């Protein structure tokens, strides 16, 4: 296995690691329901699945047993 010729300095190592940090999730408000949700994700509200202000799935329909 290859070995480095010189030891990596603390400064060089830390420069590389500056980009690795935790970020807060991006939240936005749905224009239809007014609820907060993660951006670019569908979310459930009152039995309906919303994405970009539109209803994708509606689970409020009553199921009748035959």
pLDDT in tens, 24-41: 889 999 988 899 999 999
Residue among 16, 11, 45, 40 nearest 27 (CA): 40
What pLDDT is stored for residue 66 in this prediction? 54
Phi and psi at residue 12, in whole multiples of 5°? -65, -40
Residue among 63, 38, 42 nearest 52 (CA): 42
Taking the complete model, does pTM exceed 0.85, yes or no? no
| Residue spans of the chain under pLDDT 70 | 61-66
pLDDT, mean over the chain: 86
What pLDDT is stored for residue 27 in this prediction? 92
């Amino acid at each position: 296995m290859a070995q480095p010729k010189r030891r990596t300095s603390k400064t060089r190592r830390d420069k590389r690691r500056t980009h690795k940090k935790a970020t807060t999730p991006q939240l936005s408000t749905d224009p239809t329901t007014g609820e907060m949700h993660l951006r670019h994700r569908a979310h459930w509200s009152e039995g309906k699945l919303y994405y970009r202000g539109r209803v994708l799935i509606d689970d409020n329909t009553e199921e009748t047993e035959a």
